[in-house]
């Protein structure tokens, strides 16, 4: 099925460990985004990639890095996980943010202990 695929769906990390969240879309979308969602709150933008080859910081980029590997894939890396990074992470993509809505993945639930 066409859409945004995130892996893994669940992850538990110890403080200080590193990991990479993977995101891939098969809709030929140009723009991709990483959000985090904390309980009872809306989403907050971590990083985004307006087009292949570009990345920019969002509202809460500290502690994260991203890579736009190609047009399909956009990964999010936590170099040294902290308990404050416990959250649900969503990847999203859109063909044209000016004219189309975003398509979201099903999320990665990350717990840092």
Give yes or no for residue 60 binding another protein (CB under 8 A).
Answer: no
Structure tokens at 97: 């943010």
Answer for which of 41, 52, 87, 112 binds another protein (CB under 8 A) is 41
For 1, counting Cβ atoms within 10 Å of its Cβ (0-12 exposed, 13-18 middle, 19+ buried), the class is exposed
- C-beta of 1: minimal distance to another protein in Å? 14
Among the listed residues 17, 19, 52, 58, the single contact to another protein using CB under 8 A: 58
Contact between 106 and 88 (Cβ < 8 Å): no
* Residue 106 in the binding site for another protein (CB under 8 A): yes
Of residues 49, 76, 50, the one with CA closest to residue 63: 76
Binding region for another protein (CB under 8 A): 4, 31, 35, 40-45, 48, 50, 58-59, 90, 92, 97-98, 100-107
């Amino acid at each position: 099925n066409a859409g945004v695929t995130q892996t893994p769906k669940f992850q538990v990390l110890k403080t200080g460990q590193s990991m990479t969240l993977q995101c891939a879309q098969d809709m030929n979308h140009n723009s991709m985004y990483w959000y985090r969602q904390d309980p009872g709150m809306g989403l907050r933008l971590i990083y985004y990639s307006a087009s292949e080859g570009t990345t920019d910081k969002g509202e809460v980029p500290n502690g994260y890095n991203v890579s736009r590997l190609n047009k399909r894939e956009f990964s999010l890396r936590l170099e040294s996980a902290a308990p404050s990074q416990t959250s649900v992470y969503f990847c999203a993509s859109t063909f044209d943010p000016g004219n189309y809505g975003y398509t979201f993945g099903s999320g990665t639930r990350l717990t840092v202990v």
